[in-house]
Amino acid sequence: MTMRELAKAANVSVSTVSKAFHGAKDISQETREHIFEVAKSLGCYGRFYQGKYDKKVIAVICPELAGEFYSTFTELLQEMIEQAGCICTISTDHFLPDVQAQLIEYYSEYMKVDGILVFDLQTRLKKGHKTPIVSLYSNKDTTADCVGIDVKSAIVDAVQLLMEHGHSKIAFLSEKLTTLKAQYFYEAATDLLQGEPQIITSRFRFEKAGEDCVEQLAPDVTALICAYDNIAFGAIKALRTKGLQVPQDISVIGIDNAPMGQYASTTLTTIDTKPDEVCTIAWELLQKKMESPYYKSPQSISIRSGLIVRESVGDRK
């Protein structure tokens, strides 16, 4: 079905059909609705309609939804976006920069969404990129806005807390996707402690990684800092299997403040990565960029993580 054929079926001119589908104001609403009804009956309405969807569409690109960290942030963003009367669409890039770049291009050039929120922007945006975009957590393109989390200073606080309780042999339990946190721990431990700090990187993820790392612990370690809370939960289970109690025999600190941590039989000391605050600032910043095409001064905002002290840290025996 061509536009000329539709015009003939609706008994109007081709230019009138074109104006109807492009939202022109110099034709009556009655004529527009008549053309649309004819187009729908002939099955060609979607082919010709050029009007913009009446709600803003926001794309959220995150590495995964399996982990509690990203799912928590994504759910918060979706809630904020929908409360603002917008539509939220979510995609995962599986921690792959090429996939992330493809999704950004798809949402910008093909879907023409109104804004993009992306976790850990991995590559530079293409020259001429126009869709408003804000990165969360980290950013490799200094021309893009970013709302990050200062985990490094909180890891220093965690090491100092353990030292105050008499711990000097502290291990960091990690996995392949958390090497930056491990580096932060190494720097803090090297500055504050004597001897080479132990960093264990598991080939597994989540709770299984915690169980795996415990099997590799040096015998003199009296405290653990884990790259995220799920690793801590797995580590605590493995320690108990070995007859060790938390915090009587070994202290444990996690990162991310997962809800389960405050309800565990021994509540988990953890680093709060402030998802509410980070998501609120990122969404407000994106809205400002969508509202004004002249809002182009890139911002890099860092939210300081906080240490939440609970029962899983105790004095060294």
DSSP string, 163-187: HHTT---EEEEEETT-HHHHHHHHH
Residue 315 lies in a domain: no
Q: Is residue 161 part of a domain?
A: yes
For residue 14, being part of any structural domain is answered with yes
* Distance (Å, whole) CA 162 – CA 174: 18
Mean pLDDT of 165-172: 96
Residue 194: give the domain boundaries: 151-273
Evaluate whether residue 107 is within a structural domain. Answer: yes
Is 201's pLDDT higher than 70?
yes
Let me know: does 305 contact 273? Beta carbons within 8 Å: yes
Mean pLDDT of 284-290: 94
Q: Are residues 252 and 108 in the same domain?
A: no
Residue 310 belongs to a domain = no
The values of phi and psi at residue 291, to 5°, are -75, -30
Residue 156 and residue 262 in one domain: yes
CATH number at residue 103: 3.40.50.2300
Domain count, the chain: 3
Above 80 in pLDDT, residue 185?
Answer: yes
Q: What angle do CA 306, 311, 312 make, to 5 degrees?
A: 85
Whether residue 84 is found in the same domain as residue 191 = no
Q: 236 and 166 in one domain?
A: yes
- Residue 247, preceding peptide bond in cis (omega within 30° of 0): yes
* pTM attached to this predicted model: 0.82
Given this model, what pLDDT does residue 191 score? 92
**Does residue 267 form part of some domain?**
yes
Q: What's the pLDDT tens digit per position in 21-30?
A: 887 888 899 9
Query: Does any domain span residue 101?
Result: yes
Can you tell me the mean pLDDT for 65-75?
A: 93
Both tokens of 206, joined, read: 């989540």
